[in-house]
């Protein structure tokens, strides 16, 4: 391998490391975006969300099983993911878990009432 090839490989490795760090940072920030981050999510309809930032930022996020996921921020344009999209996905996961929990408890209550 000549010097030019080694340099190219080095740059590629540095770029991959930078991307990996950025993706890890996005995932970390998404976890607290709606709590400590002061962001809010408004559901336009199922699959389409407005993410509102504490400084008046506004992002349109698509998180859907049929349409491709999307956010109109700069990070998404570069990395095809972002803290807004991931925060919405975490919120939806939590809501689904809460719904499962409620369904489970409703069934248990029905069972209890059915005995009387």
Site for Zn ion in 15-54 (CB under 5 A): none
Options 30, 33, 41, 82; binder of Zn ion; rule CB under 5 A: 82
Task: Pick between residue 29 and residue 84 the one whose CB is nearest to Zn ion.
Answer: 84
Q: Is 87 in the site for Zn ion (CB under 5 A)?
A: no
Give the residue carrying structure tokens 């344009």.
77
Which value, to the nearest 10 degrees, does the dihedral of the CA atoms of residues 12, 17, 19, 22 take?
-160
* Least separation in angstroms between CB 66 and Zn ion: 20
* Least separation in angstroms between CB 6 and Zn ion: 36
* SS3 at position 94: helix
Instruction: Tell me which stretch binds Zn ion (CB under 5 A): 19-27, 31-39, 82-90, 103-111.
Output: 82-90
- The answer to whether 31 and 90 have CB atoms below 8 angstroms apart is yes
d(CA 108, CA 48): 33
Query: If binding means CB under 5 A, how many residues of this protein chain bind Zn ion?
Result: 6
Distance of CA 13 to the CA centre of its chain: 26
d(CA 37, CA 17): 26
Residue 70: CB atoms within 10 A of its CB come to 18
Q: Is 70 in the site for Zn ion (CB under 5 A)?
A: no
* Least separation in angstroms between CB 73 and Zn ion: 3
* Residues at the interface with Zn ion (CB under 5 A): 59, 71, 73, 76, 82, 84
């Amino acid at each position: 391998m000549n010097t030019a090839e080694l340099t190219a490989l080095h740059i590629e490795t540095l770029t991959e490391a930078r991307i990996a760090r950025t993706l890890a940072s996005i995932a970390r920030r998404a976890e607290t975006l709606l709590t400590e981050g002061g962001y809010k999510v408004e559901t336009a309809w199922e699959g389409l969300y407005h993410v509102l930032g504490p400084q008046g930022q506004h992002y349109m996020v698509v998180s859907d099983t049929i349409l491709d996921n999307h956010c109109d921020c700069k990070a998404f344009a570069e990395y095809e993911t972002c803290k807004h999209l991931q925060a919405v996905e975490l919120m939806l996961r939590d809501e689904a878990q809460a719904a499962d929990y409620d369904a489970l408890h409703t069934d248990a209550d029905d069972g209890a009432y059915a005995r009387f």
